[in-house]
Structure 1
Amino acid sequence: MSLGEFDIIARYFARKSARSDVLLGIGDDAAVVDSHAGRKLVVAVDTIVEGVHFLANIDPVDIGYRALAVNLSDVAAMGAEPAWMTLSLSLPRANEQWLDGFARGLFELANEYNVALVGGDTVRGPLVITVQIAGWVEADAWLARSGAKPGDLIFVSGIPGEAAAGLAVIQRRILGGESAAFLTHRFLRPRPRIELGRQLRTVATAAMDVSDGLLTDLKKLCAASGCGAQLNVDLLPESAAMRELFEVDDCLQYALSGGDDYELLFTLPPDQALAVLSKLQLQQRVTQIGVITAPTSDDARVQCLRNGRPFRIERGGYDHFAAGKQG
């Protein structure tokens, strides 16, 4: 017996929430949630498409996890605490094995961050997954891309490029033992930096997540802040797994233009940076990679230096609508 839309919702996604602020969830025309005095609502939405953001043969458990992780990363970049999500699923057919795996991956991460699924929609069509997430941030401060000032130091969490290298491992079927497995995991299971974003909320001057490539996203931060940046390529953290499987230039390409890392890119005032970093309770490494500079022309907003000399990357970051670019 084939599953209908309401069967799919009831069997795989209708789960009782432990959140006291969910007054009415899945099963009605809309959700009702309680507001929080003294806090502001933060909302983000992301869509992932088969063949664009993930390959057809990816385990549905990983797809479900990743669908939520990319949204949680946006919430982390705002310094917010996630609370609820809605889910829109376009499915070619009601494959029960796929739905079971997808739901397990989705709720694995949702339960970790106490995120309640409060509604959504299911339709027939190409495999497209849209998650909208909402959360809270204190009313006195939240993170944005627009606050960086000349002289601020630029930092990035984690090791940029490992996710892009992981995608290359999958696409090329590279056999590299533990290194290949590690990089593949970094692509399939990005870790949203919620805890880091919460700690940076009152101290960082600007922040955003790295989804389209470090260099591309740094340019976006600079554009929002009306400034430029100098990025020291020699300061980028190295990945032992990447160095084992790829040439040095490939590693650099992945680090600067590879997407899907979902790390946090942020800036700190130079006179406060050391004190701030010493107080952070870090679950991942944080590396200074450059400095914010005075405003420049758009095409030269970010200058890369390598061995003290200007350096130009061969390819930019991901853009859905730019001809010839790939994720």
Structure 2
Amino acid sequence: MTGRYSEDELIARLFAPIAGPAGLGLEDDAALLPASSEPMVATTDMIVAGVHFFADDPPAQIAKKALRVNLSDLAAKGAAPVGFLLSLALPPDWTNDWLAAFATGLAEDAALYGAPLIGGDTASTPGPLTISVTALGRTSRFAPRAGARPGDAIFVSGTIGDAALGLAVRRDPALAARLSPAARDWLLDRYLLPRPRLDLIETVRGGASAAMDVSDGLVGDLAKLCRASRVSALVEAPLVPLSTAAQEAIGLSPSLFETALTGGDDYEILFAADPAYRPPQGVVRIGAIVPGAAAPAILDASKTQMIFGKTSFSHF
């Protein structure tokens, strides 16, 4: 064929093959989900070129990021994915090849995470590429933000700050040049491609009194969890887990520690649980929930409260 796909052609050629049975071949106006005894969980996130990713990032990676940030929200609620809806607003310069690569990346992750496409929409826009995913999941036990209690311990998975430092590396060639190749590549990859913690769904269901994913920065997201639970918190900054690459970057520029704690895009799980809870490997205790309405206090190695220029990423 010549020219770009029509809307019907791009759906039939690129996205219908990704669709699960509930999507009805993407030939209907809605999906039809099977009944279940477990509650349904829904979440949606939008990513925009120039805000959440660089316009020249590989299209397959952009697709994966769009899906994975939503799967991260499901994991933090203790929900296993059922499927997702995709809405694409394409700028004037899109091409068939770009969209085919995007669809390939989406198909790979849909298969990897057991989250088939079940519907969506496409539109044109004069502005930047905009992608919205709505992910659906089911859970036997929903973990809200509002369940933390004084005395609970605070846990976090994985390592914190890699993605924010990856963005700093992307923006600062001088910093990139000073890092070892292994550290630079690790941080850049963590910014480009989140790892949703679906492996922790049972951990969240079994132990968390309150939970959320770390998407806007550990300090700011903990504050959100505390506000919802009507509590405060104490966190020991030296206990926050950092990757070897993050430690290398912070060693070169100590101010980047604040970036790591507040920068966002970690997509790890932050949760509160009974202090007797024993977390699985790769999950560490970093503090405690305390009574009160004050913002969480982040204490440095000398037990002095740290003051931040900002506590999290914000669009506004």
TM-score of the pair, normalised by structure 2: 0.92
1:248: how far off?
A: 5.3
1:15: how far off?
A: 1.2
Structure 1 residues 89-122: Cα deviation after superposition (integer angstroms, max 9, x where no partner): 0001341121122112222211111111111111
1:251: how far off?
A: 3.5
TM-score of the pair, normalised by structure 1: 0.89
1:17: how far off?
A: 4.6
Which residue identity does 2:84 align to in structure 1? M
1:290: how far off?
A: 0.8
**CA distance in structure 2 between the partners assigned to 1:301 and 1:172 by the alignment:** 32
Match of 1:232?
236
The correspondence for 2:269, drawn from 261, 264, 270, is 264
Match of 1:325?
none
Q: 1:16 to 1:237 in 2, by over 3 A?
A: closer
- Structure 1's consecutive aligned runs of 4 or more residues displaced over 6 angstroms after TM superposition are none
**CA distance in structure 1 between the partners assigned to 2:117 and 2:225 by the alignment:** 31
1:162: how far off?
A: 0.4
Identity %: 42
Match of 2:312?
317
Match of 2:116?
116
Query: 1:150·1:227 contact (CA, 8 Å) conserved in 2?
Result: yes
1:18: how far off?
A: 5.6
The correspondence for 1:302, drawn from 276, 296, 300, is 296
Query: 1:81·1:198 contact (CA, 8 Å) conserved in 2?
Result: no
**CA distance in structure 1 between the partners assigned to 2:249 and 2:77 by the alignment:** 34
Q: 1:43 to 1:313 in 2, by over 3 A?
A: same
Larger mean CA deviation between 127-136 and 251-260 belongs to 251-260
Which residue identity does 1:273 align to in structure 2? Y
Q: Quote the RMSD (CA, aligned, Å).
A: 1.6
Which residue identity does 1:260 align to in structure 2? D
Structure 2 runs not aligned, ≥5 long? none
Matched, 1:185 2:189: yes
The correspondence for 1:255, drawn from 254, 260, 265, is 260
Matched, 1:290 2:287: yes
Match of 1:95?
95
Query: 1:83·1:136 contact (CA, 8 Å) conserved in 2?
Result: yes
Q: Secondary structure at the match of 2:14?
A: helix
Question: How many residues get paired?
Answer: 305
Matches within 5 A, 1:126-145: 126=127, 127-138=129-140, 141-145=141-145
**CA distance in structure 1 between the partners assigned to 2:87 and 2:18 by the alignment:** 19
